[in-house]
Structure 1
Amino acid sequence: MKPEAASAPFAGPFAVATLSASDGPAFPALVTADAQVIDLRAALDSRHLTMIGLLEDWDSALPTLRALARDGGPSPRPLAEFRVHAPVRPRQVFQSGANYRQHVIDLHVAHRAPDDDRPEEERRAEAAEIMDRRAAEDLPYVFIGLPSAITGPYDDVVLPVWAEKPDWELELAAVIGRPAYQVSVEEALTHVAGYTIANDLTDRATVFRRDMPQIGTDWLRSKNAPGFTPLGPWIVPAESIARPEDLRLTLKLNGETMQDESTKDMIFDVARMVSYASRSARLLPGDLVLTGSPAGNGMHWGRLLRDGDVMDGSITGLGAQRTRCVAEDAS
């Protein structure tokens, strides 16, 4: 699928993207607010032939990007002439679960013990108290995803034959622009180059191992099928997103709103997520830190993804993605 119009509805004067023309190779590009494309292979030096190369040199490249957006660059062309790919192919993907307060409260209330006959209001108040205590005292829940699951923001999503309960999870993704290892919460955001949109699909039927339940979650099986992480369309510089803790996430399924929540509802904000991930791993330029998904997943609605479904996902200031679900050929 392709974007509905040649527009670039993101915050700030520019974003960066990975594009291609016709059957040509993909390349890093600057996209201006009026939907003009500047090929960064021509505007910058050979170190920036890929998005990873650009992000590895983000601090020194940023002034040039600002100038290109302001003054123009060599041979700008309309965005409509290009195919939009996932903005970056990261080396590492850090994913998060149980990070939206209302979502986790809903789960807590829905999964009550059979002998718990307390009113819902009482159980919801208990869950809220647990979430507040968790935010103050506990740690984020972060696990590893595979870069091979990433696909473009307008590409079809293939639903594997074995995926019995494929579900959507719209998320804010932070893109690392400076290596981060054991960084504090206070300095964490200085390592973020920008933000993009991720839809972190999950097959609910395979989240837990049936053969060995004591092992717990199986994120390899449930989250990492090819194309299970539509990403993009843009990386919007962090300097253009004044308040990442106050962005609206909206996912529509066939035009009907399913998720509609603010990042204000996060239990752990972006800075705490990046800092926590860096305690154990060295975050590299281009890496993604996904920050969890709000209430309104398919399991909540009793409606999972199926062949022909169209998902429209948007986040304030970051644009929108549209993906169509296609059933895998059983043969």
Structure 2
Amino acid sequence: MKPAAASASFSGPFALGVLSAPDQASFPGLVIPGGRVLDLPTALGEPALTARGILERWDEMLPRLHALAADETADWRPLEHLRVHAPVEPRQVFQSGANYRQHVIDLEVAHRAPDDPRTVEEARAQIAAVMDRRAAEDLPYVFIGLPSAITGPFDDVVLPDWAEQPDWELELAAVIARPAYRVTVEEALEYVAGYTIANDLTDRATVFRRDMKAIGTDWLRCKNAPGFTPLGPWIVPAGSIADPGDLRVTLKLNGETMQDESTKDMLFGIARLVSYISRTSRLLPGDLVLTGSPAGNGMHWGRLLRDGDVMEGVITGLGAQRTRCVAERTAS
């Protein structure tokens, strides 16, 4: 399938992307409303410049990017003739689990054992109490993803033949600008360059180990197949997003709305997650912090992903991604 056309629809005067042309390898580009792109390595006279390189020098680069976005004499190119790739290659991907209250309640009900004596209402009430206690005790849940799972925002998503219950999880992702280690909640947002869209696909059948339940979750198996994290299309600078805690996250499957929730439903916001992660790990420029998925996943609807499905994901101010699912046996 030919990659879907990207749109330069986002908040603020510009966004960052990684693009390519048939006769040109991928390059970091400055994208402005109206669908125009500036080749940043050429414009800045740095042929080896990468998206991560820009983020590593974010404090220096940001004012230069603002100036370039306002330069009508620059060598702008039409977006429609370019292919859009994932907007960054991170070294580390931190993923927040169980971070949307309603989403976790829905999953608990969907995953109930056949002999669970609780009614639906009892199950919902019990997990709601657990979520409220987690919020009160200030305990985010974060695990590690693999950069190799990332793919472009308009690329096909190959569903592995072993994945019995592949599911969607559209999420807000924060992109780190500066090394962050043991930062406070109050200063955490200073380390965020911007935001992008991630669809953190999950095979529900392999989330929990069947051979030994005491081991718990198997995030390697269920979330890290190649292409299981469509990312982008753009990194929108943090200064262009008024409140990341109040954005609409919407996913449509074959045109039907499945997820449609505000980031207000997050238990732990961006600042809290960044600070929490930095207590243990050193966040690096270009790293991703995925904030968890809101309610409306396939397990809730009783409808998992299959060959030919098309997912369209939109988050307020960040643009849109569109990916088609292809069964592994038919992937070209």
TM-score bracket for this pair, using the shorter chain length: over 0.9
1:156-305 equivalences in 2 (<5 Å): 156-305=156-305
CA apart distance, 1:101: 0.9
Per-residue CA distance 1:95-135 (angstroms, 9 max, x = gap): 11100011122334455685645672x65445434322211
Per-residue CA distance 1:32-84 (angstroms, 9 max, x = gap): 01211011012224286110100000111000101111123531011111100
Q: Distance in 1 between matches of 2:202 and 2:21?
A: 32
Q: Distance in 2 between matches of 1:207 and 1:107?
A: 12
Which runs of no fewer than 5 residues in structure 2 stay unpaired? none
**Aligned AA (1:66):** H
**Aligned AA (1:16):** L
Q: Contact between 2:150 and 2:229, CA under 8 Å: does it hold in 1?
A: yes
CA apart distance, 1:177: 0.6
Q: In the alignment, which residue of structure 2 is the partner of 1:24?
A: 24
Q: Contact between 2:109 and 2:120, CA under 8 Å: does it hold in 1?
A: no
**Aligned AA (1:80):** E
Q: Does 1:329 align with 2:312?
A: no
Which runs of no fewer than 5 residues in structure 1 stay unpaired? none
Q: Contact between 1:248 and 1:261, CA under 8 Å: does it hold in 2?
A: yes
Residue 271 to residue 319, structure 1, CA distance change in 2 (3 Å): same
DSSP-derived class of the 1:26 partner: strand
Per-residue CA distance 1:170-200 (angstroms, 9 max, x = gap): 0000000111011111111100000000000
My pick for the range that moved more, 104-113 or 293-302, is 104-113
Q: Distance in 2 between matches of 1:137 and 1:169?
A: 26
| TM-score normalised by length of structure 1 | 0.94
| TM-score normalised by length of structure 2 | 0.94
Q: Distance in 2 between matches of 1:244 and 1:47?
A: 33
**Aligned AA (1:95):** Q
CA apart distance, 1:209: 1.6
Q: Contact between 1:161 and 1:330, CA under 8 Å: does it hold in 2?
A: no
Q: Does 1:3 align with 2:11?
A: no
Q: Distance in 2 between matches of 1:24 and 1:263?
A: 38
Q: Distance in 2 between matches of 1:130 and 1:140?
A: 13
Q: Distance in 2 between matches of 1:257 and 1:91?
A: 33
Q: Contact between 2:7 and 2:319, CA under 8 Å: does it hold in 1?
A: no
Q: Distance in 2 between matches of 1:265 and 1:245?
A: 9
Per-residue CA distance 1:176-228 (angstroms, 9 max, x = gap): 01110111111111000000000000111111122222211111111111000
Residue 47 to residue 101, structure 1, CA distance change in 2 (3 Å): farther
Q: Distance in 1 between matches of 2:297 and 2:238?
A: 27
Q: Does 1:138 align with 2:124?
A: no
Cα-Cα RMSD = 1.9
1:103-118 equivalences in 2 (<5 Å): 103-110=103-110, 114=115, 116=117
DSSP-derived class of the 1:296 partner: coil
DSSP-derived class of the 1:329 partner: helix
Q: In the alignment, which residue of structure 2 is the partner of 1:15?
A: 15
Residue 115 to residue 30, structure 1, CA distance change in 2 (3 Å): closer
Residue 179 to residue 47, structure 1, CA distance change in 2 (3 Å): farther
Q: Distance in 1 between matches of 2:260 and 2:237?
A: 23
Q: Distance in 1 between matches of 2:160 and 2:324?
A: 14
Residue 25 to residue 112, structure 1, CA distance change in 2 (3 Å): closer
Q: Distance in 1 between matches of 2:145 and 2:123?
A: 33
Per-residue CA distance 1:284-312 (angstroms, 9 max, x = gap): 00000000001111111111111000000
Residue 305 to residue 147, structure 1, CA distance change in 2 (3 Å): same
**Aligned AA (1:10):** F
Residue 33 to residue 223, structure 1, CA distance change in 2 (3 Å): same
Q: In the alignment, which residue of structure 2 is the partner of 1:69?
A: 69
Q: Contact between 2:195 and 2:318, CA under 8 Å: does it hold in 1?
A: yes
DSSP-derived class of the 1:325 partner: strand
Residue 244 to residue 47, structure 1, CA distance change in 2 (3 Å): farther
Q: In the alignment, which residue of structure 2 is the partner of 1:44?
A: 44
Q: Distance in 2 between matches of 1:115 and 1:187?
A: 44
Q: Contact between 1:47 and 1:54, CA under 8 Å: does it hold in 2?
A: no
Q: Distance in 2 between matches of 1:133 and 1:184?
A: 22
Residue 112 to residue 34, structure 1, CA distance change in 2 (3 Å): same
